């Protein structure tokens, strides 16, 4: 299908009348809605939402003008301030944006750290004193893979103690990583 002068004139006429791109494509035949939209843009035809070229577009501003005085009359009975507060939620209820922490900076305390029992933390602290402090390249199937420290610094290491069977961590770190479901539920309440 090619855009002949007759087809372009038909497109311009129908577009000016407010017909949709789908309706124009159906009338022309052998052309898709997207092809019509593309041709409209290439021809530089005006956007009908802002122009008053069609009967529908002319009727809408008149209807909006008639409705506008009624809308303006209502706010006079009420103060404008409560309306604006109800329209926009307070900043505190908006979802928090994720904070990006540059490399080398200490991480903020994680919420899960508050849920770990003091006994388990004490055990982890004792085990980390005895840890082998191995690097990533020294990890094997039999070494505890619990990371310690900030990965962006030179002081980062892995525990390296013997793992508990079937787990990636030593006994102390398994106690922190794999907590019983009921214990987690109880702490949330």
Model pLDDT for residues 135-159, shown as the tens digit of each residue: 899 999 999 999 988 888 888 999 9
Better-predicted residue by pLDDT, 99 or 80: 99
User: By the 8 A CB rule, do 18 and 54 touch?
Assistant: yes
Task: Give the number of other Cβ atoms within 10 Å of residue 146's Cβ.
Answer: 23
User: Residue 145: its pLDDT value, please?
Assistant: 93
What residues pair up with 148 in beta bridges, in sequence order? 157
User: Residue 10: its pLDDT value, please?
Assistant: 93
Predicted confidence (pLDDT) at residue 34 exceeds the cutoff of 50? yes
User: By the 8 A CB rule, do 126 and 148 touch?
Assistant: no
In a domain, residue 10? The reply is yes
Average pLDDT over residues 44-72: 53
Q: Residue 121's domain spans which residues?
A: 114-188
Predicted confidence (pLDDT) at residue 172 exceeds the cutoff of 90? no
| pTM of the model as a whole | 0.36
Predicted confidence (pLDDT) at residue 55 exceeds the cutoff of 50? no
Number of domains within the chain? 2
> Confidence class of residue 25 from pLDDT cuts 50, 70 and 90?
very high
> Confidence class of residue 73 from pLDDT cuts 50, 70 and 90?
very low
User: Residue 87: its pLDDT value, please?
Assistant: 52
Predicted confidence (pLDDT) at residue 32 exceeds the cutoff of 90? yes
In a domain, residue 29? The reply is yes
Cα–chain center distance at 9: 45
DSSP character string of 131-188: ---B-GGG--TTB---EES-TTSTT-EE--SBPPTTSSS-HHHHHHHS--HHHHHHHH
Average pLDDT over residues 43-48: 80
The first and second tokens of residue 101, run together, are 């922490």
């Amino acid at each position: 299908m090619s855009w002949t002068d007759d087809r372009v004139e038909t497109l311009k006429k129908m577009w000016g009348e407010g017909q949709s791109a789908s309706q124009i494509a159906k009338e022309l035949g052998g052309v898709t809605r997207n092809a019509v939209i593309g041709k409209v843009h290439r021809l530089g035809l005006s956007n009908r939402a802002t122009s008053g070229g069609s009967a529908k577009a002319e009727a809408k501003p008149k209807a909006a003008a008639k409705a506008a005085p009624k809308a303006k009359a209502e706010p006079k009975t009420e103060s404008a301030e409560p309306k604006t507060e109800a329209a926009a939620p307070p900043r505190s209820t908006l979802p928090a944006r994720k904070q990006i922490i540059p490399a080398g900076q200490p991480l903020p305390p994680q919420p899960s750290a508050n849920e770990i029992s003091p006994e388990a933390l004490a055990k982890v602290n004792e085990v980390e004193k005895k840890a082998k402090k191995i690097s990533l390249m020294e990890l094997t199937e039999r070494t505890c893979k619990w990371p310690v420290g900030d990965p962006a610094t030179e002081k980062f290491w892995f525990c390296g103690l013997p793992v508990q069977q079937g787990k990636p961590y030593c006994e102390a770190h398994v106690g922190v990583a794999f907590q019983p479901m009921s214990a987690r539920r109880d702490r949330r309440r």
